[in-house]
Structure 1
Amino acid sequence: MVSTTEPQSPHADDDGGHEGGTRGRRRRRKNTGPGEVVRGTVRFFGEILLTSGLLMLFYAAYEVYGSQFETDREQQDLAQGLEENWAAVEEEPGPDSEPLPGAADSRLYVPGLDLDWVVVNGTEPDDILYSPGRYTWFDSGPGQEGNYAIAAHRTPGLFWDLDLLGDGDVMVLEDGENFYTYEVFQEETVLPQDSWVVDPDPFDDASDEDPERALLTLTTCAPKLNNTHRLIVWAELTETTPKSEGMPDSIAHMAPDAEE
């Protein structure tokens, strides 16, 4: 028997696709010519560069500002250790010995910046990671004749604003017995190899063996976020205040128990 049913078109859908419908049409191929490939490649590398740029920006921000939290934490630990060492020396003075690299040596106050730090021995990268460090090339302590020279990174929390100091500004060094007040008398930007700036007396070569002035020198990178030069600030001793008399007026507001 011959079937009278019309054969169903292979392109008809289950709903009985009708003429003029869209489901039975062929899909157009996506353009994958050279232009589209180039655009895709440029888009891919653009996203990579954008992501890399953001990561570098966040890293730079951390290097400048984020490390300040670590600096503050390390300074607190150093301050506690310094006070304990001073107390131990007062009770049982021990024999003189070579300064240990990275060990706390003094405290530096800069009232003009409303900042103070524990100063450690040495200026190697590990020594001054979170603290100012004193040059140990020459034997000179706080308040002594010679040059007590200190280096620190140009980062917030350390010597970031050192360029704001000028002639007449006051800085104070503290050791186990006294507060030593110094007054800034000169600032200069030099090259990294100019090591003469931390000599016993940078302004009188003839007195290097027997300096006649007590100097305090601060050094850091210049300009900010670069290390092509060094910013130098020199100060000279003007007053010595025994701790039994309390803190000098210039830093009295920076005492731990001072009212806010």
Structure 2
Amino acid sequence: MVSTTERQFHEGSRSEGGRGRGRRASGGRRRRARRTGATSGDVVRGIVRFFGEVMLTAGLLMLFYASYEVYGSQWETDREQQDLAQGLEEAWSADAAAEEAGPDSAPLPGSADSRLYLPSLDLDWVVVNGTTPDDIRYSPGHYTEFPSDPGEAGNYAVAAHRTPGLFWDLDLLSNGDTMVLEDAENFYTYEVFREETVLPTDVWVVEPDPFDEATDEEPERSLITLTTCAPKLNNTHRLIVWAELVETTPKSEGMPDSIAHMAPQADEDE
């Protein structure tokens, strides 16, 4: 038999154990940490993060803008060239009629004047009269300061922007490469013989005979001069490429072999 004293001892032990377990259970709970105010380090990190995001966004916008300036304008150039090409034959017909009717008149700024082919680069353009920013926005422009015509003695000088679709790859031309000018009657083939980078103030490059100091005499050579900015995406200098006439091909004989693969596509209506 269990004595009364032993029962009280065991019951007390169980009671103490239960209370102990309760205290341990209660003591094992974690209290939530109290929130404190933002520190100076948090403020600095927030400011740095904000300005970092602003600079990243500005950089992306500048990148998109530069990409459009370089490549997006090529689409506009191609479209404008198509419009000029459609009216070039009409312009030549009108010029022929004007010559029959009376003396020559000064070309209108921005009007189509010739077609230029660079077969080694597989490029061709309609060349307009004038070299103002509006004239050469989408086309190469013919300098009109000195009288000059394709195939004639003198210097048929042409300027264009250094952008894709225009004179972007002009530096790829080498001595011996050909250029072809087309007017209403003939194809004129020129051969590249010199390339040079000069300052914008070196306007002698487009004179009737850039390599003859006796400029008061009539030029004897038939030259074409191409000018554009150098280096790419900058305008601190000018890249100049000269070529000299080596052959004249009447249109009745067809296109010269050097540009036969570049024949303009006929209109679908024709």
TM bracket, shorter-chain basis? 0.7 to 0.9
4+ runs deviating over 6 angstroms: none
List per-residue Cα deviations over 1:171-193 (Å, max 9, x = no partner). 00011111111000100111111
State the alpha-carbon separation in 1 of the partners of residues 150 and 136 from structure 2: 18
State the alpha-carbon separation in 1 of the partners of residues 227 and 126 from structure 2: 16
Pick the aligned partner of 2:92 from 86, 90, 93: 86
Aligned to 1:62: 68
Aligned to 1:198: 206
Q: 1:1-260 to 2 correspondence within 5 Å? A: 28-29=34-35, 31-90=37-96, 93=99, 94-95=101-102, 96-257=104-265
State the alpha-carbon separation in 1 of the partners of residues 192 and 235 from structure 2: 23
State the alpha-carbon separation in 1 of the partners of residues 58 and 112 from structure 2: 39
State the alpha-carbon separation in 1 of the partners of residues 52 and 147 from structure 2: 57
Q: What's the TM-score, normalizing by structure 2?
A: 0.83
The gaps in structure 1 that reach 5 residues or longer are 1-18
List per-residue Cα deviations over 1:204-232 (Å, max 9, x = no partner). 02145411111000011111111111110
State the alpha-carbon separation in 1 of the partners of residues 98 and 107 from structure 2: 18
State the alpha-carbon separation in 2 of the partners of residues 182 and 49 from structure 1: 50
Out of 106-115 and 242-251, give the one that drifted further.
242-251
State the alpha-carbon separation in 2 of the partners of residues 101 and 40 from structure 1: 57
State the alpha-carbon separation in 1 of the partners of residues 216 and 83 from structure 2: 35
The one-letter code matched in structure 1 to 2:219 is: P
Q: Alpha carbon RMSD of aligned pairs, Å?
A: 2.1
Q: What's the TM-score, normalizing by structure 1?
A: 0.86
Preserved contact between residue 111 and residue 251 of structure 1 (Cα < 8 Å)? yes
Sequence identity (%) = 78
State the alpha-carbon separation in 2 of the partners of residues 121 and 208 from structure 1: 25
State the alpha-carbon separation in 1 of the partners of residues 131 and 188 from structure 2: 22
State the alpha-carbon separation in 2 of the partners of residues 30 and 221 from structure 1: 62
List per-residue Cα deviations over 1:44-77 (Å, max 9, x = no partner). 1111110000000011111111110000000000
- Alignment coverage as a number of residue pairs: 239
Q: Normalized per residue, which structure has more helix?
A: 2
Structure 1 residue 99: Cα displacement: 1.4
The gaps in structure 2 that reach 5 residues or longer are 1-25
Distance 1:178-1:192 versus aligned 2 partners, 3 A rule? same
State the alpha-carbon separation in 2 of the partners of residues 228 and 80 from structure 1: 35
State the alpha-carbon separation in 2 of the partners of residues 57 and 152 from structure 1: 24
State the structure with more CA Rg: 2
